[in-house]
Amino acid sequence: MGAALLFFILMRNQVARSHQTAVNITSVVVLIALYHYLRIFNSWSDAFTFVDGSYIQKGAPFNEGYRYVDWLLTVPLLLAELVIVLKLAKSTTRSLITKLSIAAIAMILLGYPGELSAADSSTRTIFGILSTLPFLYLLFVLFVELGKSLDRQSDQVRKIVNGLRFMILIIWGVYPLAYIAPSVISDEATAEVVRQVGYSLADILAKPLFGLFILAIALIKTQDEAGSLPETASA
Amino acid sequence: MGAALLFFILMRNQVARSHQTAVNITSVVVLIALYHYLRIFNSWSDAFTFVDGSYIQKGAPFNEGYRYVDWLLTVPLLLAELVIVLKLAKSTTRSLITKLSIAAIAMILLGYPGELSAADSSTRTIFGILSTLPFLYLLFVLFVELGKSLDRQSDQVRKIVNGLRFMILIIWGVYPLAYIAPSVISDEATAEVVRQVGYSLADILAKPLFGLFILAIALIKTQDEAGSLPETASA
């Protein structure tokens, strides 16, 4: 996340000023993630101690809440950067961002009570299903409503947006898999590791990789508008 | 706060140089808040320990003073950025900032003795009321005195300033609610959590969100003056 943050800040002036906002939001997203991963690291270190050849859980519980606070901030921002970089009409931009943000926030808030409950509890299953509903709505907005606004984009941009939408469909599908890990893997320690590795991998793909594609769109648009390399368009 | 700081710094060069001061003050405000929230985090961690399945208060008391020092610095700056971004006549700017700063400082200084006193003490109530008086004067300056200077602003800017004044009225109303939490909620731990969550939420709305509106005014003014995108108006 820190490496991505540096890269996005350094690459910013290759993008025309009118397209920098989306890249700036990408930087903000990976900074937020960087902070929370440092907190997650510390919380994990505090939760487990090495005793007699293996790690055991000490007093303080590992705080999974950091991930949810992170997502609550970063997921709406990720969706906003996708809409903003396309430079649609102001009213379309506002309406898409509002719908996507509400769906994202509902999805994350509904996931949290399930995350906190026991591995084999029905609460976990019910909130898992409930949080899938806003996710489906979010996909509908991305594939149907956003789809209507793609006519004016260049072929290259349209291809990347298509790729990004399928990325959201597939990568965001890793989160539910990590979520159900404690329910399907009987060994508690293995389940916890699978869950954390799953969430972390998905975060790397959904934030820095997603941001690289947003940067690519901003660079293509800069080039298309300048008719050349953006040597003169930035400071 | 850190995310907002990065965003305001990165967005600065989208604003014409003549309007950057207000955005720079916004960056300063969220940096000050970032610092104090890290101190608050540490003070909170030091004050509570996880023992036998729940958090208990250890020796060191949680230091609520960080919030008041933060406010003493950031509240006058927040009000100053609102006045500065409007680019009023110099004498009006100076007079408004002086009045608003004095009212803000009086409000915060009078709140602190009440914050330190017991939940059901009359000291708490008296200082709560005393600190409301400068707040009312502050609202008078914002709605009446500042109102007189809004004629020259564009419709778009006037709308945002209106929104900001009501934001101050409503969001700053959360602080008194958090302040009286210990007096109206009997369970001490719950009251403390409500108070901290209330203050923190209000701070997020009053600093980064407030700053986003200031940035919006600066961007609109930049665009109005350039008659186009600010490609050439800044470095």
| Kind plus residue range of the DSSP H or E element containing B56 | strand B54-57
Q: Name every chain B residue with its beta carbon within 8 A of the beta carbon of A32.
A: 2-3
Residue B164 near residue B213 (C-beta atoms within 8 A): yes
Q: Do B2 and A59 touch (CB under 8 A)?
A: no
Q: Which value does ipTM take for this structure?
A: 0.88
Q: Name every chain B residue with its beta carbon within 8 A of the beta carbon of A60.
A: 50
Distance from CA of B207 to the nearest CA of A (A): 16
Q: Which of B6, B56, B193, B200 to mutate to test the interface with A (most CBs of A within 10 A)?
A: B6
Q: Do A31 and B235 touch (CB under 8 A)?
A: no
Residue A134 near residue A103 (C-beta atoms within 8 A): yes
For residue A101, count other CB atoms closer than 10 A to its CB: 17
Tokens at residue B212, please?
Answer: 């986003």
pLDDT exceeds 80 at position B235: no
Q: Which of B9, B193, B231 to mutate to test the interface with A (most CBs of A within 10 A)?
A: B231
Q: Which of B8, B13, B49 to mutate to test the interface with A (most CBs of A within 10 A)?
A: B13
Out of A125-129, B26-30, B120-124, give the one with best mean pLDDT.
Answer: B26-30
Which residue among A59, A73, A235 places its CB closest to the CB of B50? Answer: A59
Tokens at residue B86, please?
Answer: 């409007």
| Kind plus residue range of the DSSP H or E element containing A55 | strand A54-57
Q: Do B231 and A31 touch (CB under 8 A)?
A: no
Which positions in chain A have a beta carbon within 8 angstroms of at least one beta carbon in chain B?
Answer: 9, 12, 16-18, 20-21, 24-25, 27-28, 31-32, 35, 59-61, 73, 233, 235
* Band of pLDDT at residue B49, cut at 50, 70 and 90: confident
B142-179: pLDDT as tens digits: 999 998 888 888 999 999 999 999 998 998 888 988 88
For residue B16, count other CB atoms closer than 10 A to its CB: 19
Tokens at residue B178, please?
Answer: 């958090």
Over its length of 235 residues, how does chain A's per-residue pLDDT go in tens digits? 999 999 999 999 999 998 999 999 999 999 999 999 999 999 999 898 888 888 888 778 889 999 999 999 999 999 999 999 999 999 999 999 999 999 999 999 999 999 988 878 889 999 999 999 999 999 999 999 998 888 889 999 999 999 999 999 998 888 988 998 888 898 988 998 999 999 999 999 999 999 999 999 999 999 998 875 445 444 4
pLDDT exceeds 50 at position B232: no
Q: List domains and CATH numbers for chain B.
A: 2-221 (1.20.1070.10)
pLDDT exceeds 70 at position B230: no
Instruction: List beta partners, residue A56.
Output: A49
pLDDT cut 90: percent of chain B above it: 67
pLDDT exceeds 80 at position B18: yes
Residue B119 near residue B190 (C-beta atoms within 8 A): no
How many CB pairs lie under 8 A apart between chains A and B?
40
Looking at residue A209, what is its pLDDT? 95
Tokens at residue A219, please?
Answer: 């660079």
Q: Is the dihedral of CA B38, B41, B44, B45 positive or negative?
A: negative
Least confident piece of the model among A206-220, B102-116, B186-200: B186-200
What is the C-alpha end-to-end distance of chain B, expressed in Å? 25
- Residue A56 — φ and ψ, nearest 5°? -120, 155
Residue A1: closest CA among A74, A72, A69, A63: A74
* Band of pLDDT at residue B233, cut at 50, 70 and 90: very low
For residue A173, count other CB atoms closer than 10 A to its CB: 11
Q: How far is CA A50 from CA A57, A89, B191, in A?
A: 9, 57, 37
Using CA atoms of B50, B53, B57, B63 in order, give the dihedral in degrees to the nearest 10. Answer: 60
Q: Do B14 and A20 touch (CB under 8 A)?
A: yes
Looking at residue B152, what is its pLDDT? 86
Tokens at residue B149, please?
Answer: 């200077």
The b/e string for B133-170 (b: 16+ C-beta within 10 A; e otherwise) is ebbebbeebbeeebeebeeebeeebbebbeebbebbee
Contacts of residues A182-185 at CB distance under 8 Å and 24 or more positions apart, as own/partner, are A182/A119, A182/A124, A183/A119, A183/A120, A183/A124, A183/A125
Q: What DSSP character marks residue B86?
A: T
Closest residue, chain B, to A10 (C-alpha): B10
Distance from CA of A235 to the nearest CA of B (A): 6
State mean pLDDT over B203-218: 95
Looking at residue B43, what is its pLDDT? 94
pLDDT exceeds 80 at position B104: yes
Residue A112: closest CA among A74, A72, A172, A73: A72
Q: Do A20 and B3 touch (CB under 8 A)?
A: no
